[in-house]
Structure 1
Amino acid sequence: LMVTHDPDIARQADRRVELAHGHLHFDTAQHGPSHPLACPLVNTSDCCTAVSTDDEIRFDHLLEQIWVCGEEGKPAQVERLHASGPAGKLPVASEEPASRVLSRMSELRLVAMQDGEVQLTPVGSQRARDVVRRHRLAERLFKDTFSIDESEAHTQACKFEHIISPELDQRICTFLGHPKTCPHGNPIPPGDCCDGKPKA
């Protein structure tokens, strides 16, 4: 049992119960918009009711791939996306087909799918940008600070990116001197701590 006011920490739990003004507000064990204790944000991208921690990780992994396709000027085709991570090393309990995960992401308005291609929605684009930034900062941290080779840095970053809070993101970036690229030469989206404003 853990009590916290930090929503990022709360999302790591298998079950979340929220109190408001001394009363039970909602319980993630209860599903469906008709249930009196269902998340008040059900059917929106902010709803946490029916999204497991494993799915959150899969969402981030797929969003990252779609973002990279955009960077490379390539269409994000459903058949080429995968939800299992590099060599199956994502910190999830089991594998899921990318099509199933993408369907769930579409329901949450993170992506839009048409004719076998996936596009990021504005909400999905911001989340993808954030996870790409965390991943590439983590790679730079592992490579520059701990002298971990690029392949292993990438594998570890796939795990680390899911537990970096916004505050830690800024601290890592500042510690590293606001790097512009990851060890592979890919651009790191700037954050609030960097010179200038982050890209939209």
Structure 2
Amino acid sequence: MPPARRRMIVGISGATGIIYGVRLLEVLRRLDVETHLVVSRAGDLTRTHETDLTAAELRALADVTYNPADVGAAIASGSFRTMGMVVAPCSIRTLSEIATGVTGALLSRAADVCLKERRRLVLMVRETPLHAGHLKSMLAVTEAGGVIAPPVPAFYTRPRTLEDVVDHTVARVLDLFDLESPSATRWGEPPAHEAGAAPDGPA
């Protein structure tokens, strides 16, 4: 029997942009999606630089958390059913592990499981500029069925704060799982802060 609640795996790697993973966890909780979180060691290091959250506070945002070295965890098995996985943010190292199938840690192993089980895998790759090796890894993941979704801001929504930018990006990622974020702003619809007015920027 399928699980009573929808399940989503969230991976947080060491790239800058941990706010995307934090916000994703917050929104998924509001949507009553059961979250399974794995944070790499580098991800925890980034947390200390970019947020005021403790390791415990970050993990408290998820329903279930895992040690990044526990390759025998539930999310490392295809028999553990989930909607899929988002890596937010996704470092180039994590991207490369997933692209090659050389998955020595739980985060990349869980992503590999999503690919082999034909479940949705979304990588919010945070790097620029990109060289040919990066692009080849992105192509390899795409050919394997994953989605490369860099956190690129949209300005037709007329964001006023950094939170507006993050919310829009997270909402677009959740669209890939047919999940409706309460903070989504869509083309042809008024921004949340401008009820009754349509955005006039390019699509």
The TM-score normalised by the length of structure 2 is: 0.31
The TM-score normalised by the length of structure 1 is: 0.31
Where is the strand percentage greater, Structure 1 or Structure 2?
2
